[in-house]
Structure 1
Amino acid sequence: MHDFEDQKSLAVAYIGGGSLNWATKLMGDIAQDGTLVVDMRLYDIDFAAAERNARLGRRIAEAGRGKPARYTAHERIEDALDGADVVVISILPGTLETMASDIALPERYGIRQSVGDTVGPGGFVRAMRSIPMLAEIAQSIRACCPDAYVCNLTNPMSALTGTLYAVFPGIKAWGECHEVTKLRHIVAWLANRKAGSVSYSFRDVEVNVLGINHFTFVDRAVVGGVDMLQDYLDFARTHRASGWRATPIDPDNEQERCFLDHNMVKFDLASRFGIAAAAGDRHLAEFVPQTWYLDRNEEFGFGLTPVDYRMRERDEKRRVAAELDAGAPLPPLDVSEEALVAEIKALAGGAPHVTNVNLPNRGQLSGFAEGIVVETNARFSAGGIQPLHSGRLPEALELIVKPHAERQTALVAAVLEGRRDDLFPLFLGDPLVAPLGPDKAQDLFGQMVAATAEFLPEALKRAG
């Protein structure tokens, strides 16, 4: 990697470069940072979308705070990856229409899913179609830029980060997720209330993270040198039945309604296990039996996000992107809450940065087997990415978390090795699926595989 201090450009390959969410957010953060000199190569199976984002990236760079950024679109992944210092992966595994079947088919069998992209039947089948995609990307990285640092933003995070390492064991990859930020916001609010002034933001909250992606927990939350965990646990118990939001929900805001979260699942889990649940309620609810929360989502104040909303949101983003591409004024550039720019700068020789990421377990999470992808803190620096020892989950919670991690690891191996007969037992083992029993679960699995067959390798199309 080029030295950050000498201000040479960093070659960043963006796989999924036509993205209307993560790619443009990263462009804005680079422009607002004003120190990184970036040569970003955008690759997407939709080349026109990558070209549009390249044009948009140039406009964003010109509106930034100083250092230039170069944006180019590439029709071949090899050209985008050639000699890259950093690779970012944010792809949509299949289509939103395919994701709609991930939600709708299980619903016919009484299975409710609030997100459907990580665990449960939707997350499982999404992994089946996305693991081969990530395997191809990993092979291309090994061929074109084996020394690059690789950030995966695509869900299911644990399975896909594990895929990168299974295909290319020498890869320097991490999975990036912003869900823990939700807890950090609450802790910052509590610290400000305690101080009697707005003195802290979520960036001032240092947390010790344990768990797996979207089922993360925190046993230390330090603000201004003071551990606020007990304050948080007390607050969670007090608001366990009522919930809490920093601001009231706007009933006219469809996005707020579709992504509704009153933190009641977080507070309930904290009260049950004596440790702070960190991810958003919609994700947390899918890791435990449906009777805990999903059957009572209105009672627990969270939404089941409909895919048709995601489709409307996609269409609106396309409309806005087309207007910007036609010359409409750029909206004001805001710094996002994502950590990627700080991580890249640290790897390139800037100030070290500690944050929570997904990596194969090398002892950072006690009680979990070596190699299983877990989410804990890691230190980013010019020396690379060093996972930090986080400790161990409470025993009762570990008994819930560990089977998910083991199932995700086994799923990756079964898909990569084309062992379709091993897939259904793993599918049936998920706590949302198990209550169906083998016969109904087998019927559901067959229907879901058929619905996503166009994205599956031949060896898996007859699974189930």
Structure 2
Amino acid sequence: MSFKIAIIGAGSVGFTKKLFTDILCVPEFREIEVALTDINESNLSMIKSLLDKVVEANGLPTKVTATTDRRRALEGARYIISCVRVGGLEAYADDIRIPLKYGIDQCVGDTICAGGILYGQRNIPVILDFCKDIREVAAPGAKFLNYANPMAMNTWAAIEYGKVDTVGLCHGVQHGAEQIAEVLGAKSPSELDYICSGINHQTWFINLKLNGRNIGKDELIAAFEAHPVYSQQEKLRIDVLKRFGVYSTESNGHLSEYLPWYRKRPDEITRWIDMSDWIHGETGGYLRHSTETRNWFETEFPTFLEQAGRPIDPARRSNEHASHILEALETNRIYRGHFNVKNNGIITNLPSDAIIESPGFIDRFGINMVAGIALPEACAATCISSINVQRMSVHAAVSGDVDLLKLAVLHDPLVGAVATPEEVWQMVDEMLVAQARWLPQYAHAIPAARERLSKGTVKTRDWTGAARRQVRSIEELRAEKKSA
């Protein structure tokens, strides 16, 4: 087979390499073209070198190109994969830093909450530019695979406003299933059958079978509480399991910032999180992790380039959805996964316009979602709170409506549990001013926001959060890896 895949934001070096090697595990895909594009020429050069090494070492005819001209990369592409992070780590640091001044402590801040909403405001105008290019220069009927967060908002905008065939992809369901299989003593995750449904990062394992045997709430709670590691790392998730009766896909730290109950009091936060790794609840944990990962890649690039010369091993193909989706669409080998699409009645007790994450099957005819799923009422209620925030955020990002943006932030569950309306209004002004260069739709509103800030009466504080760690140096990372 010969077709073209374009990867936007290909400078996400490690993730792009994973997707690329996964795709080349499909024998029929040896002669494809992969076009890489990014605004960061240095990262683009690094990933091009890595993928060229993969192709050369494996004696493949695969064509790899790289350009900062996005339209050129998209020309004739049948599939477009987005891994963009608009504003990079500089803007992301403000997503964490500024809300802390108003008492809002986030672990990740890339889906909803104050950071996730502003992340969406930066991403959505760019996503719509991608969609315009896809409509104009990509292959007819091209499919857009969005990996970028905030997943639901980006996918919502691409479908509703971009008018492009879009599916959002995440690996939270797979990782949650691996945990469940492990605590239940399965020899392999393949022994676990499940239905997992909801919205991205708030998806729920509503039906579980291990080797055909139903797994109930009490057995699952007992299994997690008996596990020597997860019983400590996933305390909040286990508490939600006890109260809701179903397990959430999302990590302990990420889940804590979607709910209004666990991160609103600084003295309570440490009760529910675990500091053994960033993902379990550390303040700004993903920002620290991302910063360390970037520094590590840049410093250790020669080692990564050398490792790229190893043979591709299909047995080590990852469970990221992209390669499996392409394989199903092109070869008709059916793939079952969990996909982010517009609801339209798939989940009966969530709004029809929402972007949901739910099971589906893929073949030559496309994505065939399993319809008629009903979530437990508490799960639906929690999802709807986030959906309402997502809807307002998307519409604000498209229209440049500052008032609607502030209302979206005000209605965020964690923000609303911590901050007053006056604090939210000032915080959003501060974030708009700090990130103005990435927010073209709000250019008209920045002078007034800056003027309001100069007269602001809300007191803020210099707070690093309830559980903050400093970015580790390369030497510290080397020592830790050597010890491990």
After TM superposition, list the pairs within 5 Å mapping 1:2-21 onto structure 2.
8-21=1-14
Deviation readout 1:373-401 (Å, 9 max, x if unpaired): 11111211100112212612222232221
Deviation readout 1:127-169 (Å, 9 max, x if unpaired): 1111111111111111112411111000000000111112233
After TM superposition, list the pairs within 5 Å mapping 1:385-424 onto structure 2.
385-389=367-371, 391-424=373-406
User: In the TM superposition, what is the alpha-carbon distance from 1:461 to its structure 2 partner?
Assistant: 6.0
2-structure distance, mates of 1:362, 1:382: 22
Aligned twin of 1:205? 192
User: In the TM superposition, what is the alpha-carbon distance from 1:191 to its structure 2 partner?
Assistant: 4.6
- Range with bigger deviation, 422-431 or 388-397: 388-397
Q: What's the TM-score once normalised by structure 2's chain length? A: 0.83
Kept in 2: contact 1:449–1:461 (CA 8 A): no
User: In the TM superposition, what is the alpha-carbon distance from 1:111 to its structure 2 partner?
Assistant: 1.1
Aligned twin of 1:273? 244
Kept in 1: contact 2:256–2:262 (CA 8 A): no
Aligned twin of 2:296? 316
Tell me which amino acid in the other structure corresponds to 1:286.
E
Aligned twin of 1:445? 428
Aligned twin of 1:45? 39
Aligned residues: 432
After TM superposition, list the pairs within 5 Å mapping 1:301-450 onto structure 2.
301=274, 302-304=280-282, 305=285, 307-325=287-305, 330=309, 334-389=316-371, 391-434=373-416, 435-450=418-433
Which residue of 208, 212, 219 maps to 1:234? 219
In structure 2, the CA distance between the partners of 1:188 and 1:396, relative to structure 1 (3 Å rule), is closer
User: In the TM superposition, what is the alpha-carbon distance from 1:332 to its structure 2 partner?
Assistant: 7.3
**Aligned partner of residue 173 in structure 1, secondary structure:** strand
2-structure distance, mates of 1:358, 1:425: 25
In structure 2, the CA distance between the partners of 1:158 and 1:213, relative to structure 1 (3 Å rule), is same
Deviation readout 1:337-364 (Å, 9 max, x if unpaired): 3122111100112311111111011211
User: In the TM superposition, what is the alpha-carbon distance from 1:322 to its structure 2 partner?
Assistant: 4.8
Deviation readout 1:250-303 (Å, 9 max, x if unpaired): xxxxxxxxxxx8122221111111122122112211111154687434322323
User: In the TM superposition, what is the alpha-carbon distance from 1:310 to its structure 2 partner?
Assistant: 2.1
**Aligned partner of residue 150 in structure 1, secondary structure:** strand
2-structure distance, mates of 1:292, 1:270: 17
**Aligned partner of residue 403 in structure 1, secondary structure:** helix
Tell me which amino acid in the other structure corresponds to 2:161.
V
User: In the TM superposition, what is the alpha-carbon distance from 1:31 to its structure 2 partner?
Assistant: 3.6
1-structure distance, mates of 2:236, 2:33: 42
- Range with bigger deviation, 274-283 or 333-342: 333-342
Tell me which amino acid in the other structure corresponds to 1:395.
E
Tell me which amino acid in the other structure corresponds to 2:229.
R
After TM superposition, list the pairs within 5 Å mapping 1:148-227 onto structure 2.
148-169=142-163, 171-192=164-185, 198=187, 200=188, 202-227=189-214
Which residue of 29, 54, 62 maps to 2:56? 62
Kept in 1: contact 2:156–2:355 (CA 8 A): yes
Matched, 1:245 2:238: no
- Range with bigger deviation, 384-393 or 279-288: 384-393
User: In the TM superposition, what is the alpha-carbon distance from 1:458 to its structure 2 partner?
Assistant: 4.5
- Range with bigger deviation, 100-109 or 312-321: 312-321
1-structure distance, mates of 2:177, 2:228: 14
1-structure distance, mates of 2:63, 2:218: 47
**Aligned partner of residue 432 in structure 1, secondary structure:** helix
**Aligned partner of residue 433 in structure 1, secondary structure:** helix
Kept in 2: contact 1:187–1:221 (CA 8 A): no
| Larger RCO of the pair (alpha carbons < 8 Å, separation 6+) | 2
Kept in 1: contact 2:119–2:150 (CA 8 A): yes
Aligned twin of 1:27? 20
In structure 2, the CA distance between the partners of 1:319 and 1:331, relative to structure 1 (3 Å rule), is farther
**Aligned partner of residue 148 in structure 2, secondary structure:** coil
User: In the TM superposition, what is the alpha-carbon distance from 1:422 to its structure 2 partner?
Assistant: 1.3
1-structure distance, mates of 2:348, 2:302: 49
User: In the TM superposition, what is the alpha-carbon distance from 1:33 to its structure 2 partner?
Assistant: 4.1
1-structure distance, mates of 2:377, 2:309: 51
2-structure distance, mates of 1:397, 1:384: 28
In structure 2, the CA distance between the partners of 1:328 and 1:161, relative to structure 1 (3 Å rule), is closer
1-structure distance, mates of 2:218, 2:443: 45
User: In the TM superposition, what is the alpha-carbon distance from 1:329 to its structure 2 partner?
Assistant: 6.5
2-structure distance, mates of 1:100, 1:84: 34
Relative to its length, the structure with more helix (as a share) is 2
2-structure distance, mates of 1:238, 1:308: 31
Identity of aligned residues (%): 25
In structure 2, the CA distance between the partners of 1:29 and 1:186, relative to structure 1 (3 Å rule), is same
1-structure distance, mates of 2:95, 2:4: 36
User: In the TM superposition, what is the alpha-carbon distance from 1:43 to its structure 2 partner?
Assistant: 0.8
Aligned twin of 1:4? none
Tell me which amino acid in the other structure corresponds to 2:412.
D
In structure 2, the CA distance between the partners of 1:168 and 1:353, relative to structure 1 (3 Å rule), is same
Aligned twin of 1:139? 132
C-alpha RMSD over aligned residues: 2.5
User: In the TM superposition, what is the alpha-carbon distance from 1:218 to its structure 2 partner?
Assistant: 1.2
- Range with bigger deviation, 124-133 or 303-312: 303-312
Tell me which amino acid in the other structure corresponds to 2:197.
L
In structure 2, the CA distance between the partners of 1:244 and 1:267, relative to structure 1 (3 Å rule), is farther
